[in-house]
Structure 1
């Protein structure tokens, strides 16, 4: 039975990945920050077979303990301060966790592996936000990185540190440059979930409007449940490498609103949407669209859930949750 250790187990990706690995017969361990983490109960309910370890990406000793207690064959580093807007408000914390945290987990894996650094396969969650002020459309593994937020800068640091450990120590360390991926488990601070929950509430008469920022920004949105399959496939390859994971389609915030409101029978969504400059980014990333041909050719991976199916899935989940009083 292979064993995997996941940081960021409380996030949408961590939960979907844990489910996938359990289905594949893995023994799954998760690192969770703080004994009183409010999301611990959610993890224990959704994936009760996962063994949890207290730890923090900013604390090397806690990561070493988690590795010692789990003895993993694979490590998936999904932990991060991942909300882009927050990264401007607290660039230091974002850099400490999302950037230096990668160095900590890489070093912990290297030390734990000892004389055989490739014996533990490592996955780093890189991000399309690293492309920022895009220099090429679509973006591939070879596109120049030009991040436009403290979050994006931190992800670039972790991405290159993963490459450095692979080249310097011979670690089997791969990075997935994942474009935006969403699900009903997405945090409510992210725009897709903000929209899906607000649309559900408006449909049920629980609120009247939603306040948004830039409606013209375009993103390449996929389903998180599809994307964790790509993570696993990367670590099954004989050689570690970096892969863009995306749908290859781009959609605007306006399109997101049109699909979400249309799904509940509201055709004129503009009377329910108010723009506020407070929700604009200091430096906007206007167009992200990925070229996942390498993942398709090498990993045999392609997305299964389309944009409209994804958004309607999220709206339906929020409608059900609100009706149930969650």
Structure 2
């Protein structure tokens, strides 16, 4: 039997890697994409000839489209990766963030429940739900979100637990700590840094402007983390899992890894602007993924330094092509 999977957020970083993984495993993959006047599918363009990939217009803020899509596809697995995922933006667009990230998850769960199909559901939770709680953070750590994004994701996390317990739905949450790649959005700090390194190295600019350099994050490689998502839905029992490297790295250290890999000193090129800082900062997020290692056999291979080098190389190569060099 060919398994069918639905991925919301398929055009994003995680969605594109997950689509590759599932197609490689022989899945029929359906992706939810938002209608826009311009196409934003660069991360999955290389998959356009895959006969087992099907894209559908829809939106997590439109419950009718979700109900219709679930009934049409009758997926065996649903991966809810769609979200307004930028923390700083969530302070500027809190209502939209809540409608997409919180209520959007509820709409999707309700669509699955109403369709009465045998379906396994993955919710993309986030380390931002821990917020102000000191590390290390694991599945039983107290939540303390410090942004509209973290609060919206916490609602989605708990409503997933509720549907699992109330309706016996196979529903799990993956509490993923920061995971990056060359496909990361350009406004996220790691990608902003590696793009900045590429631009400075190639003479396009001579500086990069950032906010808080003291924030500590647990950075892993997104391509490895989607494997963990898939493993969660293959297990016999629905449970929630933290995915993380267990290593804390400051933004300053990530800067050093990225710039030094290109033969540069970040202190010669980085400027500070308080406008890039959050109204309420999250000082340190470092995960304990012991449960995922023991139960799922999942473990990350790439740590922050190797990740920085990988991303710098990719961005220098990409920018060189654009510049015709």
TM-score range, shorter chain: over 0.9
Counterpart for residue 146 of structure 1? 144
Deviations 1:148-190 (A, max 9, x none): 0000000000000000000000000000000000000000000
Distance change (3 Å), C-alpha of 1:323 and 1:41: closer
* Cα distance, 1:145 vs structure 2: 0.3
* Cα distance, 1:35 vs structure 2: 5.3
Which aligned pairs between 1:43-58 and structure 2 lie closer than 5 A? 43-46=44-47, 48-49=49-50, 50-58=53-61
Task: State which drifts further: 26-35 or 242-251.
Answer: 26-35
Gaps of 5+ in 2: none
User: Does the 8 Å CA contact 1:10/1:39 hold for their aligned counterparts?
Assistant: yes
Counterpart for residue 3 of structure 1? 4
Counterpart for residue 27 of structure 1? 28
- Equivalent of 1:70, from 70, 73, 93? 73
1:288 aligns with 2:289: no
Residue 10 of structure 1: SS of its match in structure 2?
A: coil
Residue 106 of structure 1: SS of its match in structure 2?
A: helix
Deviations 1:243-288 (A, max 9, x none): 000000010001010010000101x311200001111111000000
* Cα distance, 1:43 vs structure 2: 2.5
Residue 234 of structure 2: SS of its match in structure 1?
A: coil
User: Does the 8 Å CA contact 2:12/2:43 hold for their aligned counterparts?
Assistant: no
Cα distance in 1 between the residues matched to 2:266 and 2:183: 24
Counterpart for residue 132 of structure 1? 131
Counterpart for residue 108 of structure 1? 111
Task: State which drifts further: 149-158 or 45-54.
Answer: 45-54
* Cα distance, 1:77 vs structure 2: 0.1
User: Does the 8 Å CA contact 2:13/2:43 hold for their aligned counterparts?
Assistant: no
Gaps of 5+ in 1: none
Counterpart for residue 266 of structure 2? 269
Counterpart for residue 253 of structure 1? 251
- Equivalent of 1:210, from 208, 215, 236? 208
Cα distance in 2 between the residues matched to 1:87 and 1:188: 16
Counterpart for residue 309 of structure 2? 312
Counterpart for residue 98 of structure 1? 101
Which aligned pairs between 1:71-90 and structure 2 lie closer than 5 A? 71-90=74-93
Counterpart for residue 184 of structure 1? 182
Deviations 1:42-85 (A, max 9, x none): 42434542200111001111112221232210000000000000
Cα distance in 1 between the residues matched to 2:278 and 2:75: 39
Cα distance in 2 between the residues matched to 1:90 and 1:7: 20
Counterpart for residue 226 of structure 2? 228
User: Does the 8 Å CA contact 2:176/2:244 hold for their aligned counterparts?
Assistant: yes
Residue 101 of structure 1: SS of its match in structure 2?
A: helix
Residue 235 of structure 1: SS of its match in structure 2?
A: helix
User: Does the 8 Å CA contact 1:18/1:47 hold for their aligned counterparts?
Assistant: no
